[in-house]
Amino acid sequence: MAAPLALFRSTLSTSEADLEQATEAVSKHLAEALPDQTERDLFLLAFVEALNNAAEHGNDWDPRKQIRLAGHFGPGLAMLLVEDDGLGFSPAFPDLTKVEGKRGRGLGFIRQFSDALWFNPEGNQIVFWKGCPGMFQEYKFSTARVSTLPGKVVVVSDFTPRGSVFEAIGELLDHLHQTGWEKLFLNLSNVKLITSAVWGSIFAEAGREGAKQLVMFNCSASVVVAAEAMGIKTRQDVYAKIVVAPDCHEPFLLLCQSLEQAE
């Protein structure tokens, strides 16, 4: 297999020509990353569906609007971000066995043929990957999908608290502590508020020996404002290890960079 590839980034106009060029480029990268032909073709299908959704539903085929792509392609792993200039939407994933009519299968294909995916809160960014399915974990106070990637990188894609957020996040961090993670990416799209007690648990885990970076993404406005009030961007102690982001663009780039460093 070819050597690992660098971070892939591209900005497209909303045009058929640019979409075709992007599809061809991603297809070539996938040929380097995923050895199984069928798996590769189906993940390319997921990408095409995401790209078409961005052009049609996000940008309304307006050539003045852009589509931004980023990706990481390494041995056995392909990760992609597709972002448009639209207002976004609330994604719903159909049961492909029950869809009727000419439309409505795209998100179902993306979900079916990806190992993990995230949307930002607005719905105009989607991240999805193939090559690391992760494990669905059911804890006492939450459920989560946890993926362990090269370089002691751990990603929590689907974290859903049940009841107390304090208990849920504390319990999750206790379980993740056992993995010995060096970089942790935590999707907080289902968390609206973080209390001081929860922040204390987060700082304690980020401050342990061996922890290098804790990235919290898809955070609510209240979480972002509270983090800024504590000086999360300016302090140089354990706070410097923590990234709090309202969407998934910067966190995805940080994830890709972490994987490249691991290779």
**Same domain (yes/no): 170, 111:** no
Same domain, 121 and 180: no
24 and 57 housed in the same domain: yes
pLDDT at position 3: 46
Nearest CA to 247 out of 219, 215, 214 is that of 219
Q: Which domain holds residue 158?
A: 135-262
Do 98 and 139 lie in one domain? The reply is: no
* 3 lies in some domain: no
- Is 219 domain-assigned? yes
Residue 149 shares a structural domain with residue 225: yes
Name the domain boundary from 102, 130, 158: 130
What CATH number does the domain containing 35 carry? Answer: 3.30.565.10
Domain boundary among 106, 130, 154: 130
The whole-angstrom separation of Cα 122 and Cα 181 is 29
Note whether 257 and 141 are same-domain residues. yes
What's the sign of the alpha-carbon dihedral 240, 72, 134, 19? positive
Q: How high is the pLDDT of residue 112?
A: 87
What strand order describes the sheet that includes 153-161?
Answer: 135-138, 142-149, 153-161, 183-187, 213-217, 242-244
- Is there a contact between 246 and 227 (Cβ–Cβ < 8 Å)? no
Q: Is 39 exposed, middle or buried (0-12, 13-18, 19+ CB in 10 A)?
A: middle
pLDDT of res. 107: 82
Query: Bridge partners of 62?
Result: none
Domain assignment present for residue 1? The answer is: no
Q: How many domains does the chain have?
A: 2
One pLDDT digit (tens) per residue for the chain, 263 residues: 344 455 788 999 999 999 999 999 999 999 999 999 999 999 999 999 999 999 998 999 999 999 999 999 999 999 999 999 998 876 665 555 555 655 556 788 898 899 998 999 999 999 999 998 889 999 999 999 999 998 999 999 889 999 899 999 999 999 999 999 999 999 999 999 999 999 999 999 999 999 999 999 999 999 999 999 999 988 888 999 999 999 999 999 999 999 988 76
94 with 176, same domain: the answer is no
In-domain check, residue 81:
yes
- Note whether 140 and 117 are same-domain residues: no
Q: Which of 243, 249, 195, 188 is nearest to 218 (CA)?
A: 188
CA distances from 211 to 155, 177, 183, 233, 242 (A): 14, 10, 6, 18, 10
Looking at the structure, do residues 184 and 114 belong to the same domain, yes or no? no
- Claim to verify: residue 236 and residue 121 sit in the same structural domain: no
